[in-house]
Structure 1
Amino acid sequence: MFLPDNMKNTTEETNADNLRKKAYTNIEKWSMEIIPESIRKGVEIYAQEVQCFDPECAPIDTKIAILFSAGGRGMMGLPLAAHEVTKEILKDNFPYGEVLEKWAKGEDAEWPPMDIDEDDQLPELRFDVGDKVECRVGADEATGWAKGEVIQLWYREKQWPEDTFAPYKVKLDNGKQIFAPLDVDQVIRATK
């Protein structure tokens, strides 16, 4: 016997799965369009959401694997659910020519690279220590935000690879401390 409440959950789950699959298809198509035509032949792109249970990371990340026919591969991630990824966000965070060329040859290349200028200076950020912000801490676009204060710029942990930093460490109003992995409005924004 089917119960109406069970049918509702099944329908909601099916709709969420369909939305996710459509988002994966879009991300894979857009990624292929971004890759230079000269190295595009034989490339395979796979998008997948990954849930993070670490309170210091985004609750859902979208990981994108780029596999080249010569055996090279690369990976990138966005701290967003797949349906939140737009073509513009993807383009702004996608590996660029030099990195893709190395991956296409089977060589290692760091992504994202740490942009340090000739004076060993890190790039300028939108917020400063003491600024009030909202950070993405949940999957829901409307309610998945928590208010806090920036307490450190260019945060890093000992176990992270050398030259790997998160733009911000934030103390939330509930006392928890988290880091923002990207300096974009989808992850951290000014308090409303």
Structure 2
Amino acid sequence: MRAKAPSSAVVRLSGIVAANGDGVESTLQGGSCSVIVTQVDKTALNALIIEAQDKHDAAVEGNQAGQYPAGAKANLQSAIDQARVVANDARADDSQVAAAVTNLNAALQAFVASVIQQAPGDVNGDHTYSIGDLALVASYYGKTSTDPDWSTVKKADIVEDGKIDIADLAAVARKILESE
């Protein structure tokens, strides 16, 4: 965060006339005063708040691949709310804005990293290795990366060699045995 270039102005007063309670007027001596105004640039903070709020709003908590663990959204929202306090504070200085950006960015990165990933071999996405996974791999047996539906069946290519064959069936069977 960088502060915008300070602006300065000189305020001059002259021809000042004051009156007392009896209506007697007096001319006061004029004077001048220099004023310097510094404005903190909150553009990056506001953009990050929008980005984080969008990710928060689009996220779903649950236990499936692509979802977030319970409480992850609340943690991110708390960080967003704290950053908004700084963004809305007209007295926030450069270091406070920079700290808010750092903290919100860290919270956002932790949130994104917490997304539940599908484990290799968990072809049906139920977070266990079972006969259901083995059945799916068997149903895709013989498919290769040149098949038009590869993007759909690729998840069964456990050994990641561009084909679904006995090696993939064996890998899933091994995971089932290891998980028992």
Taking structure 2 as the reference length, the TM-score comes to 0.21
Taking structure 1 as the reference length, the TM-score comes to 0.20
Q: Report which of the two has the higher share of strand.
A: 1
Q: Report which of the two has the higher share of helix.
A: 2
Larger radius of gyration: 2
